[in-house]
Structure 1
Amino acid sequence: MSGRDDASSEKSSARPSDEADQSTPPTDSVDQRPTSDVLASVIDSGVHEINRERSGLLLSGFSAGLDIGFGPLLMAVVLTLSTGGFGDLTTELLVASAYAVGFIFVIIGRSELFTEHTTLAVIPVLDGKATVTQLARLWGLVYVGNVLGGAAFTILAVVLMPGLGVVDPASFVDIASKLITHDPHWLLVAGIFAGWLMGLLAWLLTAAQDTTSRLLLIWIVTATIGLLHLPHSIAGNVEVLFGLVIADAITVGDYVVFLVLATIGNALGGGIFVASIKYGHVVRGGG
């Protein structure tokens, strides 16, 4: 009798742990969101931004333009303090990491950045949740805010920082020259790659589960853009304006050509290579 009781008690004690093991989902399903959930989150986020008040979008875009300027500024500081220059591996890595700082400030701070919305705001249009007119309104307000914020930061940095002795004005010119020396068609192609990477970043950040992962993703993607010297229309706005204000060799025409082609390239890269393809593969059963 006691043996039977012991056996039954062993079975009953073993059963809860077995059930617990069966009810616990695999590690992968806990750590990784299904792509359908990611798409739904992107659409919700895009619709929310599209429906925001006009003044809120403009102010948020202006804030992003200001904040992203710290990346190019730190790039100039690194170039000033470095014994090497562009072409030296250590310097290039340090400059690329400095470039990423501005994006960390903007994205973690949840300000509006045009190149994020080349993906986030396009997907709701593809899904029928928003119109092209609403998309154009969002892009226009955020873009104008970004450019004006970057211009304001440039004026402050060029006026104040050289006087502090931490930045050589020639570093500003070196940074700008890296972006305006391309032929126009290559500038457009490079802008597409930059927009592609930024659109991919927007998608990955939606899928990321924690702040540490988000910080790492922002650094990896934006430092890659900085290392390759790809033209990002908003960060590049500050970079080229630095050179325009300081050097006579950089003209208003150089600035306008850069801004127009980088903007078009960024929009194409984020809208086609990320928004359209990601949306298409998920709605057709991906993930």
Structure 2
Amino acid sequence: MALGREELDRPTRGLALSGLSAGLDIGFGPLFMLVLLSVAAGVWGEPTLRLVTGAIYSVGFVFVVLSGTELFTEHTTLAVLPVLNGDAGVADLGRLWGVVYATNIVGGMAFAVGMVVFGPAYGIIEPSAFARLARPLVSHSALPTFFAAVLAGWLMGLLSWMVTSVEGSMARIALVVAVTTIIGFGHLPHSIAGNVEVFAGLVASSAITVPDYVRFLGLATVGNVVGGTIFVALLKYGYVTSGLTE
């Protein structure tokens, strides 16, 4: 709760720079996934390729969590706790969410454009890999996409909750890799990492359209907020405070 209060008190400029950095850094996961898809597609079997790309997906999250930059899906849990406890207002939460979310998205879009421009030119990404990576995130109807996003937000909320109680870099890395590999392997919609994947597909391929991107981002964002806020923040706060009052 103290960590959430500290983040809510941070100046807007600091939040924006940190959020921009996180949006850029998380792009390394999709980048390495695209490289692997370009090299191993047609060589590895689909189960192996999916498992390894799921593990590589975690790289960007490791960079973000260990560097301490601001990721929106962490704050759907941590920043809610001081509000529930009456130590901060809804306006404080709205400022934090708004600044971090917007700068995460802008940073991710910039990274995605860089991948599309330089990846194929440098010979490390096949152009067809962009649509292949993005398609699983935009190919489902609204309700399944939303519920999958709730699961992703739930997992990220658990991660943000647990990582504050883990000491040592190796333990934190292991925790981040374990949780985010599940998200990557399941193609669960994460609004910030998925923004990089789908926006790159939009820029690189006609197979991904603007409505596809807008629909994905909206469903993923709302689902992530519901998962992190209701299934982690509210429940954890409820049982912690109940334990204190017994």
User: Normalization by structure 1: what TM-score?
Assistant: 0.83
Query: Would you say the 8 A contact 1:84–1:91 is kept in 2?
Result: no
Q: Does 1:152 align with 2:110?
A: yes
> Could you tell me whether the CA contact under 8 Å between 1:72 and 1:239 is conserved in 2?
yes
Aligned-pair identity in percent equals 52
Q: 1:205 corresponds to which residue?
A: 163
Unpaired segments ≥5 residues, structure 1: 1-42
SS of the residue corresponding to residue 167 of structure 1 reads coil
SS at match of 2:87: coil
Q: CA deviation at 1:134?
A: 0.4
The Cα of 1:85 is off from its aligned counterpart by 7.7
Name the CA distance, whole Å, in 1 between partners of 2:44 and 2:14: 39
- Residues paired across the two proteins, number: 244
Q: In structure 2, what is the equivalent of residue 262 of structure 1?
A: 220
Structure 2 alignment gaps of length 5 or more: none
The residue that corresponds to 1:44 in the other structure is: 2
How far did 1:140 drift? 0.1
- Deviation digits for residues 49-98 of structure 1, max 9, x if unmatched? 10111111011100000000010011111111114489722111110111
The residue type equivalent to 2:83 in the other structure is V
Mapped to 1, the partners of 2:4 and 2:185 lie a distance apart of 29
Which residue among 79, 86, 92 is the counterpart of 1:121?
79
- 2:187 corresponds to 1:229: yes
The residue type equivalent to 1:151 in the other structure is M
CA contact 2:28–2:59 (8 Å) conserved in 1: yes
Distance in structure 1 (CA, Å) of the matches to 2:155 and 2:16: 24
Distance 2:159 2:55 in 1: 16
Distance 1:86 1:44 in 2: 47
Distance in 1 between the 2:3 and 2:191 partners?
A: 22
2:121 alignment counterpart = 163
What do the CA deviations read for 1:146-174 (whole angstroms, capped 9, x no partner)?
A: 00000110111110111111111111110
Deviation (angstroms), 1:249: 2.1
Letter in 1 for 2:132: D
- Structure-1 separation of matches of 2:41 and 2:169: 34
Distance 1:71 1:202 in 2: 18
- Is contact 1:232–1:266 with CA below 8 Å preserved after alignment? yes
> Which of 133, 140, 146 is residue 182 of structure 1 equivalent to?
140
Is the 8 Å Cα contact of residues 73 and 157 (structure 2) preserved in structure 1? Answer: yes
Contact residue 45 and residue 120 of structure 1 kept, 8 A: yes
| Matched-pair contact (CA < 8 Å) for 2:131–2:207 | no
What are the Cα deviations for residues 167-216 of structure 1, in whole angstroms up to 9, with x where unaligned? 11111110100100010111111110000000000011011121111000
Deviating above 3 A after TM superposition, structure 1's stretches of 4 or more consecutive aligned residues are 83-87
Separation in 2 of the partners of 1:84 and 1:75? 15
What is the aligned partner in structure 2 of residue 216 from structure 1? 174
Q: C-alpha distance in 1, partners of 2:62/2:87?
A: 29
Q: Distance in 1 between matches of 2:232 and 2:163?
A: 13
* 1:196 counterpart residue number: 154
Task: Tell me which residue corresponds to 1:97.
Answer: 55
Matched residues in 2 for 1:85 and 1:192: separation?
Answer: 34
Q: 2:2 is matched by which residue type in structure 1?
A: D
The letter for the 2-side match of 1:91 is L
1:240 is aligned to 198
Partner of 1:61: 19
**What is the aligned partner in structure 2 of residue 277 from structure 1?**
235
C-alpha deviations, 1:191-246, integer Å up to 9, x for none?
10000000000011011121111000000000000000000000000000111001
3-state SS of 2:164 partner: helix
2:236 partner amino acid: K
